[in-house]
Structures are given as C-alpha cells and as structure tokens.
C-alpha cells in the first residue's frame, strides 16, 4: 500500500519541485523556505524529493509527517494540515467576516479565510494522491452576452473538518461547513463534500507553476479557478456576479490565533 502511494507522490514532486529553481516566488513562500539551484540545474527533476515520513508529535498512531505541516495516515486515508485561525470574529467594529476561502496561504486572503496555513498547496495535493484521491479541475466562470456562464469543478469528493483545542482543554472537531452561515437568512452553509480539483499549472515568466502555490487558494469557497480543493458549486468572488452572503459563524469560530488542524479524507471512506 505504501509503495503504491509513493509513486504518485514522486511524480507530482518531480512536476512541482522542478518549478522552484526559477526567479518567481509564490506569495506563500517565506524567505527561510526558498530553494535555490545553480543556473540551468534542476536537481528536483532528476532526483525528485521523497517525503521522509516521521511520527508526528501528538498525532494519532499511524500519522506520519510527509511534508512540513502536512501529515498522512495512508491506512486510514486521512491527511492533516496544521494552521491557525486568522480572523477575529469578536471585533465589535467588524462583527461580520465575509469569507472567500476555507483555507489559504500566508500573505494572501487571511482576512476572508477560516484557516491560514504555511503548508504548500502542492504538498497537500501530493498528500491527497497518497491516500488514493484523484484530482479533477477547478471551476470557472466567464461573462457571456446573457450573463455569467459557470463551469463546475470536478474531482473526487473530500470531507473537510477542522480540529482545535477549546480553552477548557476539550478537543473539538467540526465539519468546515458548520463554521459558515448566510448573512441574510442565517442558514448554515450546505452540508456537502468539497472536491479535489487539483489547481492548475500556469505560465509565469516563461515557466509553469502550480497556481495555488502562488495564489494561496488551498481550500475554496468562492471560485478562483486555482483551488487545490474546491467547493463543488461555482460562487464568483465578483460581487457584480454573485452577491457576497457567506460569513463566519461567530458563535463557533475560535479566537484569532487559535491553532487549527485541517482534516481531509475521502467522502466515501
């Protein structure tokens, strides 16, 4: 089972890793994480980086760290991603926090996301391959003569949960959709799985890049056409197309800065 899972990991590591020796640096890359290579040399392409599994401290037995802040339990088909809550739902001056993403990368859309994580979206993509999920493609929307035309995202269904420790010390695990509500009706966000869209490769500075690594779009709510994990219905971030109505549920979202772990698993598990 592990040998089978290692193959797609190596393939995507080769595909994505070979992008990291150029001058373009995605927004989610911090200076201490930058990788360099001599001119014209692409060591990752010839020797794709292999995940060095380690037992994650405090994680359930069988959970191995395969990338920074990304853990996998192949047998149970679970991926965990470490992050923090980046929004303050208790700010009296801004009680309604409108959302465009469930999870993003640093220095991108923290003010409209439930979780921010320094894990690379491309690493999360590789981890999802390890548990047997197949990517599809992100959704899209375009203006036409009679209005916006939507193309829904595709990919294997993914359940998204968020785990954190309450001030009382109790460990709480909640489906991500329960942290979102409609500002007009008060209704909860739909109880549906997300899909493993797989982002896309884009051309920048004459090279191909994994789009979500630069855009920071790890888990979408709105449709940016770059999400690694996408909401199955198209919701345009353009207020002229779709009125913004989805906000954080203040009564359940933990305080700003609370460590939060994303739990990803197949919906049919």
Assigned token pair, 244:
């913004």
Cβ contacts of residue 19 below 8 Å, gap of 6+?
Answer: 207, 208, 209, 210
Give bridge partners of residue 225 from the DSSP assignment: none
Task: Give the per-residue pLDDT at 80.
Answer: 99
Torsion sign, CA atoms 219, 223, 226, 231: positive
Q: Which domain holds residue 152?
A: 2-266
Predicted local distance difference test score (pLDDT) of residue 42:
31
Token couple for 45: 């392409």
pTM of the model: 0.79
What pLDDT shows up at residue 60?
56
Residue with tokens 């303050």: 88
pLDDT at 142: 80
> Which residues of the chain fall below pLDDT 50?
1-53, 56-57
Rounded Cα distance between 182 and 107, Å, is 26
The Cα–Cα gap between 85 and 121 comes to 17
Give the pLDDT confidence score for residue 205 in this predicted structure.
87
Measured distance CA(138)–CA(125) in Å, rounded: 13
Among candidates 166, 163, 138, 140, which has minimal Cα distance to 151?
Answer: 140
Please tell me the total count of domains within the chain.
1
Exposed, middle or buried by CB within 10 Å (0-12, 13-18, 19+), for 195?
buried
pLDDT on residue 62? 87
């Amino acid at each position: 089972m592990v040998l089978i899972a290692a193959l797609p990991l190596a393939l995507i590591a080769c595909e994505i890793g070979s992008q990291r020796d150029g001058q373009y640096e995605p927004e989610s890359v911090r200076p201490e994480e930058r990788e360099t290579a001599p001119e014209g040399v692409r060591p990752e392409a010839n020797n794709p980086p292999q995940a060095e599994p380690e037992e994650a401290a405090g994680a359930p037995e069988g959970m191995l760290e395969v990338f920074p802040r990304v853990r996998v339990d192949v047998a149970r088909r679970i991926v965990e991603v470490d992050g923090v809550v980046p929004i303050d739902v208790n700010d009296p001056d801004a009680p309604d926090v409108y959302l465009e993403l469930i999870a993003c990368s640093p220095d991108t859309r923290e003010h409209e996301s439930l979780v921010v994580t320094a894990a690379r979206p491309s690493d999360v993509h590789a981890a999802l391959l390890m548990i047997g999920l197949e990517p599809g493609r992100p959704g899209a929307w375009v203006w036409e003569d009679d209005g916006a035309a939507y193309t829904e995202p595709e990919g294997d269904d993914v359940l998204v949960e968020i785990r954190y420790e309450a001030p009382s010390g109790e460990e709480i695990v909640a489906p991500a959709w329960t942290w979102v509500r409609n500002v007009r009706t008060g209704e909860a966000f739909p109880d549906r799985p997300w899909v493993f869209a797989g982002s896309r490769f884009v051309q920048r500075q004459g090279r191909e890049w994994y789009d979500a690594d630069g855009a920071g779009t790890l888990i979408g709510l709105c449709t940016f056409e770059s999400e690694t994990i996408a909401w199955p219905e198209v919701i345009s971030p353009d207020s002229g197309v779709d009125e913004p109505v989805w906000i954080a549920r203040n009564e359940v979202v933990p305080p700003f800065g609370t460590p939060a772990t994303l739990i990803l698993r197949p919906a049919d598990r």
